Structure 1
Amino acid sequence: MAVMKFGGTSIGTAPAMKRAMEIVAAEKNRDVPLVVLSACSGITNKLIRIAEKAGESCLEEAMALSGEVREHHHDLVDFLINNDTRRKSLLEKVDAYVAELDVLIKGVDIVGELTARSFDTFCSFGELLSTTIFSEAMQEAGYEAVWLDIREVMITDDNFSAARPLESLCETNVKKAVKPLLEEGKVVITQGFIGSTKDGKTTTLGRGGSDFTAALLGAWLPSNEIQIWTDVDGVMTCDPRIIPDARSIRVMTFTEAAELSYLGAKVLHPDTIAPAVKQNIPVFVLNSLHPEAKGTVITNNPVTLEGMSYGGLVKSIAVKKGQCIINFRSNRMLGRHGFMAKIFEVFARTGVSVEMISTSEVSVSLTVNESVQLEELLAELRKMGDVEIEPNVATISVVGDNLRTSKGVAGRIFSAMKDVNIRMISQGASEINVGLVVEGDDVSKAVQSLHHEFFSGNETSGIFETPANKR
């Protein structure tokens, strides 16, 4: 059996949802799928705005946005459902969810406070609506599809908006409630992103939670494979918005994929990798707009990886914009043990996460997210030494297995960057990543030069053209 996760863009419109149904139907002919859906594209953001407007007592705006949510899903039903009786019944289900949403809006408006618990409830409606319509459409198309409320299975802690599953309990629930349906040959349609506490309060797993849900369900079943359906042809050599001719990577290791996701690649959520690694389940990243494309398979299976060695060359280039550099300098660092620990105690105490670090005997440079509130952090650091801030920078990470031990690769990286001012360099613990920091205005030039260096020749053809990821 396979777990198939469809992101918001893959089901965001009626034609897209119909295309996703066809993909599921084709998979049903090969294996019995468990289908995990996100909310339709744009709906979660709209629900967040509704929640915020309700909390600000902007009742009229919130209700107008709720009407837009209703209209979007009515349009899906009208396009996908032909049977009048089924269409009427499904529209009533949609209206019932929107009525619940409206009640929540009015309740928050009256109280004048948006709690974390209420916020998660607002956000849950997107997945509940998309899966309800999808399952009904599958049934009308003649498939034995079953709608499953994931909140009955995905039991989490009460850390609202970033809840974590109680894994042993969830695994038991999956084997009792989900696996028997799949073994009976039924297509199970359920939600990503949401869960519930033991006492039934709706929670969310945070952004990217649908990928996480799919991977967890795949591990708990366990499934033969996890398919992540998105709107690009797999994991790319670079962000196609920066490099229009970026290429799809045919196969990569779990380590490479995890590194890329932490370094800014948008295809996979970092937590997606862990459950798959645990069970060594291959993860396929596929394009719902072009389902015939082979996409990317992420695996540690030596048979699949056989013949795909690339001599330590780069697999992908990840970019993370919106960063700033904090340069700290103090002569007290020289030869003094424990001083670095004190610096990082300040970061821990103020809740600021470090992205990249480079050190010398008397100075340390770090990158952090530019949107983070830094006043308290900087005030504390200035008590210990001199501090300088460099805003509007970006980290560029060159990723590939065993990169650190491959001769000549570093030389090629820096040769390609000869016309770009590099503000920081970091290479150390990770064997598969060389990190650079450049000024924001230089990102496009830097990435284009690196991509041309490593992906324009014939030497990398095996990475992308060897048919090693046939499913």
Structure 2
Amino acid sequence: MAVMKFGGTSVGTAGAMQQAISLVSREAGKAAPLVVLSACSGITNKLVQIADAAGRSDLEEAMRLAGEVRSFHLNLIDELIKSDELKKELADTVEQFSARLEMLVKGVDIVGELTERSRDMFCSFGELFSTTVFAAAMKDQGLNAEWVDVRKVMITDDNFGFARPLNDLCEANAMLMIAPLLEKGTTVITQGYIGSTKDGRTTTLGRGGSDFSAALLGSWLNDNAIQIWTDVDGVMTCDPRLVPEARSIRVMTFSEAAELAYLGAKVLHPDTIAPAVQKNIPVYVLNSWHPDAKGTLITNDPERLSGKSYDGLVKSIAVKKGQCIINMRSNRMFGRHGFMNELFGAFARFGVSVEMISTSEVSVSLTVDEKSFSEELIQHLNSFGEVDIEHNVATVSVVGDNLRLSRGVAGRIFNALKDVNLRMISQGASEINVGFVVQESEVVTAVRNLHREFFSGPEDAGIFETPAGTP
């Protein structure tokens, strides 16, 4: 059996949803799959806007946006569903969800406070809408499908906004509520991203958590594949918006995929890999609009990794914009133990995640998200030594498992970047990435030069694949 997860763009219109249904139907011909859906593209953002408007008591704006969410899904029903009886039944369900959404808006407006718990409830409506319409459309086309509320399976802690599953309880629920349906040939349609506490309060797993949901469910059900369906032909050698000639990667390891996710690649949610690694379940990243393209296989299986399809030195180049460098110099660092522990304790106290770090005897440079630090943090850091900030920078990382085994990689990287001003350099502790920081204005030059250096030679033939529809 396989888990098929469809992202927002893959179910964002009636045409996209119909394409996804055809893919599910094709998979069901082999074995009934578990289908995990995100909200339709743009809906979660709109639900966040509704929550924010309700929180600031802008009732008119919140209700207007809620009306747009309602109309979007009613129009989706009109385009997808042929049966008048099913169309009416489904429209009634959408009206019920919409009434509950509007009731939540009014409740937050009356209380005058938007909590993380309330925000999670707002955001959950996107997946409830999309899966309800999708399951009904499958039934309308004579396919054997059943809608399941994942909140009865995905039981989490009460860390609203970033809840973590209670694994043993979730696994037991999955085997009790989902496995029997799949075994008798029923395709199960359920939600990504959301869950609930033991006492039934809705939670979310964080933005992008639908990938995580799919991987968790696949591991609990001991499935043989997790398929992540997107609108691109797998994991790319680079962001094609920066490098138009970027190609899809045919095979990569779990460690490479995880590294890319944490370093800024948008195809996979960073947490997705962990459950798959635990059970060694292969993950396929595929394009719902080009289903016959090979996409990317993520695995640790030595047989699948052997041969020319994996021999590339570098797998991908990841970029993370919106960063800043915090440079600190202090003579207290020289020959003294415990300084770094105190320094990172300060970042932990202010809830700031450090992205990249480079140190010397009396100085340390690190990058953080531009939006994450405050003046209070900087004032606190001044107690450690001299501090200065460099804004408008980006991290660029060259990733590949074979880097750890290869000589001369650094020389090729720096030769490719001879025309770029490197503000900071860091070798990843995992030894599968080399990262550096450049001004945002130089990102395109840096990435294109690196891509030309590592992906333009004849030795790359057969390792990567030109995306479908590309000349």
Tell me the TM-score range normalised by the shorter chain: over 0.9
Distance change (3 Å), C-alpha of 1:280 and 1:119? same
- For the residue of structure 1 that corresponds to 2:98, the secondary structure is helix
Alpha-carbon distance in 2 for matches of 1:203, 1:257: 27
Shift in Å at residue 103 of structure 1? 0.9
After superposition, residues 241-390 of structure 1 pair within 5 angstroms as: 241-308=241-308, 313-390=313-390
- AA of the residue aligned to 1:440: E
Identify the residue that residue 469 of structure 1 maps to in structure 2.
none
> Aligned-pair distance for 1:310?
5.1
Correspondence 1:396 to 2:396 = yes
Q: 1:403 is matched by which residue type in structure 2?
A: L
Structure 1 residue 31, shift from structure 2 partner: 2.3
**Cα distance, 1:374 vs. partner?**
2.6
Q: Does the 8 Å CA contact 1:312/1:401 hold for their aligned counterparts?
A: no
319-328 vs 108-117, which deviates more? 108-117
CA contact under 8 A between 2:378 and 2:387: conserved in structure 1? yes
User: Can you list the C-alpha shifts for 1:157-216, whole angstroms capped at 9, x where unaligned?
Assistant: 111111111110000000011000000000000000011111111111111110000000
Partner of 2:456: 456
Name the CA distance, whole Å, in 2 between partners of 1:435 and 1:133.
44
Is structure 2 residue 153 aligned with structure 1 residue 153? yes
Aligned-residue CA RMSD in angstroms? 1.2
For residue 101 of structure 2, what is the amino acid of its counterpart? L
Report how far residue 338 of structure 1 moved: 2.0
Following superposition of structure 1 onto structure 2, how do residues 78-93 of structure 1 map, counting pairs within 5 Å? 78-93=78-93
| 1: CA distance, partners of 2:310 / 2:172 | 41
336-345 or 239-248: which moved more?
Answer: 336-345
1:54-94 deviation per Cα after TM superposition (whole angstroms, max 9, x unaligned)? 11111111111011001110111001111111111111111
User: Is the 1:234–1:287 contact (alpha carbons within 8 Å) kept by the matching residues of 2?
Assistant: yes
Equivalent-residue separation in structure 2 for 1:234 and 1:401 (angstroms)? 18
The amino acid that maps onto 1:202 is T
String of CA shifts for 1:373-413, please: whole Å, max 9, x gaps.
33122112212211111101000000000313311111110
Given that 1:402 and 1:431 are in contact with CA atoms closer than 8 Å, whether structure 2 keeps it comes out as no
Does 1:219 pair with 2:219? yes
SS in 2 for 1:422: coil
Q: For the residues of structure 2 that align with 1:277 and 1:78, how far apart are their CA atoms?
A: 41
Alpha-carbon displacement from aligned partner over 1:88-115 (angstroms, at most 9, x marks no partner): 1111111110011111111111111112
Seen in structure 2, the aligned counterparts of structure 1 residues 134 and 428 have a Cα distance that, compared at 3 Å, is closer
Q: Is the 8 A contact 2:234 2:248 kept in 1?
A: yes
Paired letter, 1:82: K
Query: What residue number does 1:29 align with?
Result: 29
Shift of 1:332: 2.3
On the 8 A contact 1:312/1:406 being kept in 2, the answer is no
With 40-49 and 330-339 compared, the bigger mean Cα shift is at 330-339
| Partners of 1:465 and 1:230 in 2: CA distance | 17
| 1:436-467 deviation per Cα after TM superposition (whole angstroms, max 9, x unaligned) | 1001100000000000111111211232259x
Q: TM-score w.r.t. structure 1 length?
A: 0.97
Corresponding residue of 1:191? 191
- TM-score with structure 2 setting the length: 0.97
- Over residues 262-301 of structure 1, what are the superposed CA-to-partner deviations in whole Å (9 max), with x where a residue is unaligned? 0000000111000000000000000112112110000001
- Cα contact 1:405–1:431 (8 A) shared by 2: no
Q: 1:216 to 1:80 in 2, by over 3 A?
A: same
Secondary structure, aligned partner of 2:90: helix
Measure the CA separation in 2 of the matches of 1:403 and 1:382: 37
Per-residue CA distance 1:341-368 (angstroms, 9 max, x = gap): 2222221222211100111111111011
Aligned equivalent of 1:413:
413
SS, match of residue 462 in structure 2: helix
Q: Aligned pair 1:163/2:167, yes or no?
A: no
8 Å CA contact 2:314–2:402 kept in 1: the answer is: no
C-alpha deviation, 1:309, in angstroms:
6.4
Which residue identity lines up with residue 370 of structure 1 in the other structure?
Answer: E
What is the rounded CA distance, in whole Å, between the counterparts of 1:312 and 1:249 in structure 2? 10
Which 10-residue stretch deviates more, 73-82 or 374-383? 374-383
SS of the residue 2:401 aligns to:
coil
One-letter amino acid of the counterpart of residue 168, structure 1: D
Whether the 8 Å contact between 1:158 and 1:203 is mirrored in structure 2 is: yes
Deviation of residue 241 (structure 1)? 1.0
Per-residue Cα deviation, 1:237-266 (whole angstroms, up to 9, x for no partner): 001111111100000000000000000000
Counterpart residue number, 2:469: none
What is the number of equivalent residue pairs in this alignment? Answer: 466
- Give every structure 1 segment of 4 or more consecutive aligned residues whose post-TM-superposition deviation is greater than 3 Å: 308-312
Task: Give the Cα–Cα distance (whole angstroms) in 1 for the partners of residues 121 and 380 of structure 2.
Answer: 38
Judge which range, 350-359 or 300-309, deviates more: 300-309
Preserved CA contact (<8 Å) 1:310 1:462: no
Q: Using the alignment, how far apart are the partners of 1:428 and 1:162 within structure 2?
A: 26
Displacement after TM superposition at 1:49 (Å): 0.5
Q: How does 1:220-239 map to 2 (within 5 A)?
A: 220-239=220-239
Structure 2 residue matching 1:402: 3-state secondary structure: helix
Any stretches of 5+ residues in structure 2 without a counterpart? 467-471
The alignment status of 1:71 with 2:71, answered yes or no, reads yes
Letter in 2 for 1:259: E
User: How far apart, CA to CA, are the structure 1 residues paired with 2:219 and 2:27?
Assistant: 19
1:48 paired residue number: 48
Give the letter for the 2:164 counterpart. Answer: R
Structure 1, residues 102-137: CA drift from partner, whole Å, max 9, x if none?
Answer: 111111111111121111111111100100000010
1:397–1:436 CA contact under 8 A, matched in 2: yes
How much has 1:311 moved relative to structure 2?
A: 5.1
Which residue identity lines up with residue 26 of structure 2 in the other structure? A
How many angstroms apart in 1 are the aligned matches of 2:312 and 2:12? 39
Deviations 1:4-27 (CA, angstroms, capped at 9, x unpaired) = 000000000010000000010111
AA at the equivalent of 1:282: P
Unaligned runs of 5+ in 1: 467-471
Shift of 1:302: 1.0
